[in-house]
Amino acid sequence: MYRIWLESPVDMDGWRAAARRLALAGVAPEMVGWAVEGEQDALFDDDVLPPMPDGDAAFSVPRRFVELAQTAICHADPERFSLLYALLLRLREERGLLEVAVDPLVARVEALAKAVRRDIHKMHAFVRFRAVATDEGEHFIAWFEPEHHIVEAAAPFFQRRFAAMRWSILTPERCAHWDGGTLRFTGGVPKSAAPTEDALEELWRSYYAAIFNPARLKVAAMQSEMPRKYWKNLPEASSIGLLVRDAERRAQAMVAAVPPAPNPQPQRQGATAMATGEPGTPLEELRQQAAGCRECPLWAPATQTVFGEGPEDARVVFVGEQPGDSEDLKGRPFVGPAGQLLDRALDEAGIDRHKVYVTNAVKHFKFEPRGKRRIHQKPNAGEIRACRQWLSRELATVQPTLVVALGATAVSSLVGKTTSLSSVRGKVMKTDGDTDMVATVHPSYLLRVPDEAARAAEYQRFVADLRHIGELDPSVRAA
């Protein structure tokens, strides 16, 4: 039995180094006991790790596994390290294993990652700061009790959102602190360390009561988005019971007071503005919901819904038109010829694709069958509109500071009306949800320019547009 001590509950580097060494030596998962320093007593004998085998010791795993492991390792389940190691071993033999969603091991690790993403989402949505006066001015302090080890993963969101404030988020296991320049982490504290009441809370409570719309009350939906267990740390929660009890009376009063409606406008599907504000549903849940979308006829001949991918807290979102043939088959955006060109241009512009979220205005491949080939067809206005809800919800969850529209379809979807690319290319505009937006050409346009010299010049212009994006938001630059 090999005992592996990890430095912290989320010690990915330690896990990775040990797992690689054990895998190369062919050690079976049941022969390894994983423990976190300071968490468990030694339950097993101290064996020396097997020596590194001679020869080429490197092996690669799909990037998707690395991303999955980085998330799943934050779960509170003590078995996570062992499950990840078992999955790593199997991936060496079965490269496509992660695509087999029904495989029990894959499903179990995916479930861990999903629970972690949900916990991070809840932390983003339900942390409430209280102002505390200090010698250096106001310091904002929040108390939160995550279910998993997510403080490090969740903190960058607050760093970006509250960059100009000094704040601390205290939790029983780990605390995050931002002083306007550096993000630091310290050990956990008891709840008594967090301040309780202050004037801000009173303000927030009255604000919540003011924005609460009794006519739109859906108690079940409200509890599923804001589960009761989070209420204890939310100042507005103490008002909820009263507001809910009073809702029916207030709704009737509102109905009685409403003046006769003007000519009703037909409600157009997906005509809502690009959302901003509170974070939305976690991406994984949105992805699952979108998988069953039947809002327009494009779902029927397509293989699958191709949802966006990238970090849930990316600051920059790239929006293309619709998946192509390869994307439709693989279920991932921008992996075919246009995607490869995009990757190359991003590389030249010094942007790391893994730091941005990449998605499309339309999530199904629209094509015309011609013999064995499927020829790309442009989505029409109705199809773009029908799909807008998904793009809008992705943006509400990711909350980027900048959206990059690749081509006219993306621009039209983002601004909510048909817009030519030439009228907006290169300018910093706003989406109709008020997020900064920059437009450039779609990479597949570059593949279609017939003249070689013109194609090279257009490509350089595209790279220059992408460089501009790296200047507008340096967080996406490659390290």
* Footprint of ligand URA (CB under 6 A): 320-324, 327, 333-334, 336, 338-339, 360, 442, 444
Nearer to ligand URA, 275 or 358 (CB): 358
- For residue 214, the minimal CB distance to ligand URA (Å) is 43
Q: List CB contacts of 232: < 8 A, sequence separation 6 or more.
A: none
CA 358 – CA 249 distance, rounded (Å): 46
Nearer to ligand URA, 167 or 334 (CB): 334
Q: Where would I find the H helices in 324-442? A: 325-330, 337-348, 381-398, 408-415
DSSP state of 98: G
CA 185 – CA 436 distance, rounded (Å): 31
- For residue 299, the minimal CB distance to ligand URA (Å) is 16
Other Cβ atoms closer than 10 A to 293: 17
Nearer to ligand URA, 14 or 336 (CB): 336
CA 468 – CA 460 distance, rounded (Å): 12
Nearer to ligand URA, 84 or 338 (CB): 338
Nearer to ligand URA, 156 or 331 (CB): 331
DSSP state of 478: -
CA 209 – CA 245 distance, rounded (Å): 13
CA 107 – CA 291 distance, rounded (Å): 17
Nearer to ligand URA, 118 or 376 (CB): 376
Nearer to ligand URA, 184 or 344 (CB): 344
CA 88 – CA 34 distance, rounded (Å): 15
Locate the DSSP E strands across 431-474: 436-440
- For residue 352, the minimal CB distance to ligand URA (Å) is 18
- For residue 347, the minimal CB distance to ligand URA (Å) is 17
Find out whether 87 and 94 touch, Cβ atoms under 8 Å. Answer: no
Q: Give whole-number Cα distances, 201 to 130, 198, 206, 235, in Å.
A: 7, 6, 9, 6
- For residue 443, the minimal CB distance to ligand URA (Å) is 7
- For residue 466, the minimal CB distance to ligand URA (Å) is 15
Find out whether 20 and 84 touch, Cβ atoms under 8 Å. Answer: no
Phi, psi of 174 (to 5 degrees): -155, 145
- For residue 117, the minimal CB distance to ligand URA (Å) is 22
- For residue 356, the minimal CB distance to ligand URA (Å) is 14
CA 360 – CA 333 distance, rounded (Å): 7
Report the side by side order of strands in the sheet with 174-178: 130-134, 137-143, 167-170, 174-178, 183-187
Each residue of 1-28: b (16+ CB within 10 Å) or e?
Answer: ebebbbebbbbeebbbebbbbbbbeebe
- For residue 325, the minimal CB distance to ligand URA (Å) is 9
Instruction: Name the closest residue to ligand URA (Cβ).
Output: 320
- For residue 361, the minimal CB distance to ligand URA (Å) is 8
15: helix, strand or coil? helix
Nearer to ligand URA, 251 or 449 (CB): 449
Nearer to ligand URA, 71 or 444 (CB): 444
- For residue 358, the minimal CB distance to ligand URA (Å) is 8
Nearer to ligand URA, 230 or 307 (CB): 307
Nearer to ligand URA, 11 or 328 (CB): 328
CA 122 – CA 144 distance, rounded (Å): 10
Other Cβ atoms closer than 10 A to 415: 20
